[in-house]
């Protein structure tokens, strides 16, 4: 507490010779009970004259800490005997007021200066956690390839010492964590690299974010810098349709098999007109290698045309099904037409499977969608094809029905926090009629969210689900950062699948109950209890698992801007139902995974899992299963990307091929039009000594555009470099614009021909000018070229001036201060802004300044040590080829106790 504040309180108590003449009562004392720094408060005092004679009041005064701002507290007047009077006192607590207990004293002073009434009361200044982040300096323009250096200031505007975390995607010069006392500031310098090969004028935002440790609030500031390319990209005069042509090479190598194959491909994706009404997407890939061992390289012929958003026509290979309760998708060759009119959307389709598939029957049908409103629609569909041909338990047993139809009705409603979808389907065949239903519901009741689903299909249903039952319910209740959840799921689904390449889904029933909690944006917890039963339904080979399990599960995640880590696991009791003598055994499983971003171009990730269980053994015995993996991502934007992955194997429930797996991918672009991608996969079984399988894939692509319409015409630019100083040469000055560069002739004239109409940026190569010579105009200069026109540009060269400035101490300083600071120089007659810094002695120098008048502003000193600038804004005039001096006086702040008096009135 300030010693002068204590003296004032003591002084007020000593001077209470007239106490008792005026009774003072604090009406709203709670206003001073817990005050927040930076806020304004008003106290109401009631004065009562307890004497039988009139009392004259010279003034009232509130004694508060010296740095508190008293807006009004003075009252002058008289009080008759037993008369009451209300006095309003308003004060502002500064943001840096110390968090501590305080005592406030209100005095009533008579005509002779004696205290004739008083009251005192205690209060508490709360803690204030607040930062300010602002830009100090950043260049407006840099050349491509240069480094952008931006300076920011982080100020602790609260009243407690803070640990602060700094976050940015740019390179930071200094630590990522700083400690700041109240009122203290730190300067943060960020560097951002630019691409030397950049060909267009771009803007780059550099962002700095600051967080107080254990606080969620984000404070941010950013700078914007234009990046001017050394060579501008030429604009195409034609509107073109983009096409990519590619050559594939694929190979497989094992101890016994060595095979390879080539394919060619052409595809186009884009608009056919400038107005973007007609859109075409096509792909042609040939020949077909689908039947070669494990390649899966199929040919494809597809073209899709779209007119606005109303009509769509697809011819060729495609996959389509009206809804989930229709026939299973069958990729094949055919046609699909989609037409929209007002609130109606009609779809007609036909396709015949032509590749390796267990069902080669064609599928055809139509679907109509009626949009009753923005929230509600109804759809009717009809499709005809051959139904399921294989029973899940026996791939050779025919179900006895083939051709049939499926009729479907869909109803969907979606508005705000509600979503409802109902699908009803009926299948008709020569022998059977069967039905299927699906219902989905999502709704949020304030803090409670529900999600449910239900699916049922008949035994002889022709669609993708047959003799199936599935339903689930989920509840989530949100209490701030706390989430309570409960769910139930049951699934006995017999799904239409290709028995050659697919496996069926397992049967399962699961119950879960738990809670999740987020601590800020970095910590995430989940803890709960689950009970389940799960059965493998791959009946064509031996059942691999069938078990019951119940126990606890958990997960924890931690997020940082550069890295994150996740822990999860379970502690359970498991019973293997395949084993006759099996009983519940204690089992567990734990996993950890993490991701670390080394830089903007390199990222690492890793995981390791341990599962101790009796789920998969034939005799119910316990076994250890380990699974681990590593990966990296390298991306040198935009021309090079590389990813690598290693996995030790697969979970037995997901894939019976429990093999080590290595995957390497490479993608690069050469001169924009040439693209190369490559992939190498290694599958190796750690149990069998067979050498593994190597799969290699290489793709080369070349992109180009077919000209459809000329959309840009050209004009010419004439210009002249001139100077009033005859000693400044105007010959051989390099001018750069739009991928072209020219030099001036003997009298400074230049000409750039065949520039596309539109905006262009013209720049003088300043590096080629004599020392101390600069263009008057701010570079680059923007000009607009019109078709078949000759525009003229005049650029003047002058000799620059130099500013030599200093922050000068004025008066007797109590100590040697560090006068390092940030200054801004704004040219008065245009938008030129320059930044500079002073050293510890207060000196600063700026060279290469265009002559003219500038406003010089001291933005702030790097260290706030109680100094002020008398004239924080100074105006100077820079002369050509001269050094101009500038002195900006610096003085110490003088602390004093001030009270402001006014006739502040409030009407109640």
Condensed to tens digits (0 to 9), the pLDDT of residues 421-438 reads 999 999 998 888 999 999
Residue 11 has pLDDT above 50, yes or no: no
Round to the nearest angstrom and report the end-to-end CA distance of the chain: 35
Assigned domain for 782 exists: yes
Residue 441 has pLDDT above 80, yes or no: yes
Of 376-390, 496-510, 554-568, least confident by mean pLDDT is: 496-510
Assigned domain for 173 exists: yes
Pick from 737, 764, 798: which residue ends a domain? 798
Structural domain tally of the chain? 4
Q: Are both 844 and 876 inside the same structural domain? A: yes
CA atoms in the 13 A half-sphere facing the CB of 263:
22
What CATH number is given to the structural domain containing 138?
2.60.40.10
Q: Are both 142 and 162 inside the same structural domain? A: yes
Instruction: Give residue 837's pLDDT.
Output: 87
Q: Are both 774 and 859 inside the same structural domain? A: no
Pick from 125, 154, 185: which residue ends a domain? 125
**Residues 676-697: pLDDT tens digits?**
999 998 887 655 555 678 889 9
* Beta strand 821-827 pairing with 843-849: unpaired
Instruction: Give residue 493's pLDDT.
Output: 92
Q: Are both 767 and 806 inside the same structural domain? A: no
Assigned domain for 220 exists: yes
Assigned domain for 749 exists: yes
Of 31-40, 311-320, 730-739, least confident by mean pLDDT is: 31-40
In this prediction, residue 768 has a pLDDT band, given cuts at 50, 70 and 90, of confident
Of 208-217, 688-697, 713-722, least confident by mean pLDDT is: 688-697
In this prediction, residue 541 has a pLDDT band, given cuts at 50, 70 and 90, of low
**Residues 352-387: pLDDT tens digits?**
988 766 778 899 999 999 999 999 999 999 999 987
Q: Are both 776 and 819 inside the same structural domain? A: no
Query: What is the spatial distance between Cα 322 and Cα 466, in angstroms, rounded to a whole number?
Result: 17
Assigned domain for 527 exists: no
Q: CA torsion 18→20→23→24, rounded to 10°? A: 60
Q: CA of 727: how far to CAs of 168, 730, 731, 772, in Å?
A: 48, 9, 12, 12
The mean pLDDT of 803-829, rounded to a whole number, is 82
Q: Are both 794 and 805 inside the same structural domain? A: no
Residue 16 has pLDDT above 70, yes or no: no
Pick from 182, 197, 228: which residue ends a domain? 228
Mean pLDDT over the full length of the chain? 85
**Residues 823-836: pLDDT tens digits?**
888 888 777 888 88
Instruction: Give residue 901's pLDDT.
Output: 40
The mean pLDDT of 865-880, rounded to a whole number, is 74
**Residues 609-665: pLDDT tens digits?**
999 999 888 777 888 888 889 999 988 767 889 999 988 875 566 544 456 788 999
Q: CA torsion 814→819→822→826, rounded to 10°? A: 90
Q: Are both 112 and 43 inside the same structural domain? A: yes
Q: Are both 11 and 110 inside the same structural domain? A: yes
* Beta strand 883-892 pairing with 801-809: parallel
Q: Are both 794 and 877 inside the same structural domain? A: no
Query: What is the spatial distance between Cα 33 and Cα 501, in angstroms, rounded to a whole number?
Result: 75
Q: In the chain, pLDDT over 70 holds for what percent of residues?
A: 88
Q: Could you tell me if 859 and 136 are in contact, meaning their C-beta atoms sit under 8 angstroms apart?
A: yes
Assigned domain for 734 exists: yes
Assigned domain for 158 exists: yes
Q: Are both 731 and 834 inside the same structural domain? A: no
Phi-psi region at 180: left, alpha or beta (left = phi > 0; alpha = psi -120 to 50):
beta
Q: Are both 121 and 220 inside the same structural domain? A: no
Residue 334 has pLDDT above 70, yes or no: yes
Structural domain for 782, as ranges: 710-798
Assigned domain for 777 exists: yes
Residue 581 class from Cβ within 10 Å (0-12 exposed, 13-18 middle, 19+ buried)?
Answer: exposed
Q: Are both 7 and 121 inside the same structural domain? A: yes
DSSP annotation of 18 reads: G
Query: What is the spatial distance between Cα 780 and Cα 143, in angstroms, rounded to a whole number?
Result: 10
């Amino acid at each position: 507490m300030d010693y002068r504040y204590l003296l004032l309180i003591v002084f007020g108590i000593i001077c209470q010779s007239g106490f008792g003449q005026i009774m003072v009562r604090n009406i709203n004392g709670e206003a001073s009970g817990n005050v927040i720094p930076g806020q304004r408060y008003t106290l109401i005092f009631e004065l009562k004259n307890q004497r039988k004679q009139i009392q004259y009041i010279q003034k009232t005064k509130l004694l508060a800490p010296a740095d508190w701002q008293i807006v009004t507290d003075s009252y002058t007047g008289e009080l008759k005997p037993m008369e009451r009077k209300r006095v309003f006192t308003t004060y502002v607590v500064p943001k840096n007021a110390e968090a501590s207990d305080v005592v406030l004293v209100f005095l009533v002073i008579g005509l002779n200066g004696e205290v004739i009434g008083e009251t005192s009361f205690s209060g508490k200044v709360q803690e204030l956690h607040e930062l300010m982040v602002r830009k100090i300096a950043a260049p407006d323009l840099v050349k491509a390839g240069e480094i952008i250096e931006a300076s920011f200031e982080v100020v602790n505007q609260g009243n407690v010492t803070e640990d602060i975390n700094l976050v940015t995607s740019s390179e930071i010069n200094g630590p990522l964590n700083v400690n700041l006392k109240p009122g203290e500031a730190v300067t943060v310098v960020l560097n951002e690299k630019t691409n030397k090969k950049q060909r267009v004028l771009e803007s780059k935002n550099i962002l700095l974010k600051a967080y107080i440790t254990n606080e969620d609030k984000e404070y941010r500031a950013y700078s914007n810098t234009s990046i001017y390319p050394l060579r501008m990209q030429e604009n195409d005069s034609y509107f073109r349709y983009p096409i990519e042509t590619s050559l594939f090479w694929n190979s497989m190598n094992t101890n016994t098999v060595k095979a390879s194959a080539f394919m060619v491909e052409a595809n186009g994706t884009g608009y056919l007109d400038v107005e973007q009404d007609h859109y075409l997407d096509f792909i042609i890939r040939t020949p077909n290698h689908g039947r070669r061992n494990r390649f899966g390289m199929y040919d494809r012929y597809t073209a899709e045309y779209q007119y606005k958003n109303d009509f769509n026509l697809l011819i060729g290979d495609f996959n389509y099904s009206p809804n989930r309760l229709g026939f299973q998708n069958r990729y094949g060759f055919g046609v699909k037409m989609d037409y929209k009119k007002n609130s109606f959307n009609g779809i007609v389709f036909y396709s015949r499977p032509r590749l390796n598939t267990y069902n080669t029957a064609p599928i055809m049908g139509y679907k109509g969608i009626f949009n009753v409103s923005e929230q509600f629609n109804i759809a009717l569909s009809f499709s005809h094809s051959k139904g399921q041909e294989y029973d899940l338990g026996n791939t050779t047993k025919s179900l006895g029905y083939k051709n049939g139809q499926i009729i479907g009705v869909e109803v969907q409603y979606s508005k705000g926090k509600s979503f409802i979808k109902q699908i009803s389907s009926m299948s008709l065949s020569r022998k059977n009629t069967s039905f299927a239903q699906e219902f989905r519901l999502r709704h949020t009741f304030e803090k409670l969210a529900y999600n449910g689903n239900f699916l049922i299909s008949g035994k002889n249903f022709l669609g993708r689900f047959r003799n199936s039952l599935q339903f689930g319910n989920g509840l989530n209740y949100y209490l701030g950062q706390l989430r309570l959840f409960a769910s139930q799921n049951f699934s006995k689904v017999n799904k239409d699948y290709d028995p050659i390449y697919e496996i069926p889904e397992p049967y399962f029933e699961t119950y879960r109950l738990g809670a999740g909690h987020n601590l800020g944006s970095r910590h995430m917890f989940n803890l709960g209890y689950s009970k389940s039963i799960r059965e493998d339904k791959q009946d064509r080979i031996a059942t691999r698992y069938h078990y019951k399990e119940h126990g606890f599960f958990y997960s924890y995640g931690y997020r940082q801007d550069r890295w994150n880590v996740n822990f999860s696991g379970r502690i359970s009791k498991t019973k293997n139902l395949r084993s006759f003598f099996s009983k519940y055994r204690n089992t567990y499983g734990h996993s950890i995974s993490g991701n670390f971003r080394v830089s903007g171009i390199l990222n690492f990730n890793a995981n390791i899992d341990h599962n101790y269980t009796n789920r998969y053994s034939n005799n119910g015995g316990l076994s250890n299963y380990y699974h681990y993996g590593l990966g990296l991502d390298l991306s040198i934007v935009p021309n090079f990307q590389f990813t690598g992955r290693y996995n030790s194997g697969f979970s037995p429930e997901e894939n019976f091929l429990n093999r080590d797996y290595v995957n390497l991918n490479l993608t690069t672009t050469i001169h924009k039009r040439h693209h190369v991608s490559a992939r190498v996969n290694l599958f190796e079984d750690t149990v069998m000594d067979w050498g593994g399988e190597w799969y290699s894939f290489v793709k080369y692509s070349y992109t180009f555009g077919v000209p459809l319409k000329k959309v840009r015409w050209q004009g010419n630019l004439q210009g002249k470099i001139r100077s009033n100083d005859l000693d400044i040469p105007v010959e051989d000055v390099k001018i750069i614009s739009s991928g072209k560069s020219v030099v001036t002739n003997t009298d400074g004239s230049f000409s750039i021909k065949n520039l596309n109409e539109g905006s262009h940026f013209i720049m003088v190569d300043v590096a080629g000018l004599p020392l101390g010579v600069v263009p008057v105009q701010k570079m680059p200069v923007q000009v607009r070229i019109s078709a078949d026109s000759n525009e003229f540009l005049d650029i003047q060269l002058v000799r620059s001036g130099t500013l030599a400035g200093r922050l000068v101490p004025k008066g007797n300083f109590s100590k040697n201060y560090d006068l390092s600071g940030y200054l801004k120089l704004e040219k008065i007659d245009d938008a030129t802004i320059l930044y500079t810094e002073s050293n510890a002695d207060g000196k600063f120098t700026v060279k290469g300044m265009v002559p003219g008048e500038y406003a010089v502003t001291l933005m702030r000193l790097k260290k706030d040590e109680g100094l002020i600038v008398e004239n924080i804004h100074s105006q100077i005039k820079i002369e050509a080829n001269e050094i101009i001096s500038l002195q900006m006086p610096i003085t110490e702040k003088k602390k004093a106790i001030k009270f402001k008096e006014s006739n502040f009135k409030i009407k109640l």
